[in-house]
Amino acid sequence: MNEITHKVRRWLFVALASSVSTSWAGPGGVRLSSAVEVEISRDELPPHLRAGHAVFLERCRQCHELKRPLEALATGVGPVSGTTFEANEIKQYVVRMMRKRGSKISREDAVILVQLLVYIREVAKRQQVEGFVGGDPTTSTTTSTVGSTR
């Protein structure tokens, strides 16, 4: 396991642990568990979003841990503001990060990042709903996937 994979697995989604006691999986390569972890696997992403995987890993961790945006995507709660974190807010967040000095996020990167992050949020949201509505309370795992850090 390379350093990026290890860091991504280690810092991903520790949110919702108090409210989620089961795990569930669904389409899109995302699995949320009691630890609410998400692993971003490039191979399991839709083809049009795969370019965003490398951009996310490279650009976002220049300024902060990946834990910050990933927790927000898992919970739907903004990383600093505590407000909702859905498609509109994700776009605003990426634009704000793009404008920070030294971010190296180009307009093209921003478009790709918004598409990827909105996708991850939508999959995580579906997983939350399915878990609370039709999840299997006898199932428990500690790993998850939204595609690999290859």
Q: Which of 70-74, 76-80, 88-92, 127-131 has the lowest mean pLDDT?
A: 127-131
pLDDT in tens, 46-68: 999 998 988 998 998 888 888 88
Q: Which residues pair with 84 in a beta bridge?
A: 77
Q: Give 100-135 pLDDT, tens digit per residue.
A: 999 999 999 999 999 999 999 998 888 877 765 544
Between 27 and 127, name the one with better pLDDT.
127
Confidence of residue 6 (pLDDT cuts 50, 70, 90): very low
Half-sphere exposure of residue 121: CA atoms within 13 angstroms, side-chain side: 22
In contact, 21 and 33? CB cutoff 8 Å: no
Both structure tokens of 122: 């939508």
Domain boundaries, the chain: 3-134
CB neighbourhood size of 83 (10 A)? 10
Shortest CA distance to 8 belongs to which of 56, 45, 51, 43? 56
Phi, psi of 109 (to 5 degrees): -60, -45
Mean of pLDDT over the chain: 71
Confidence of residue 69 (pLDDT cuts 50, 70, 90): confident
Q: State the pLDDT at residue 20.
A: 37
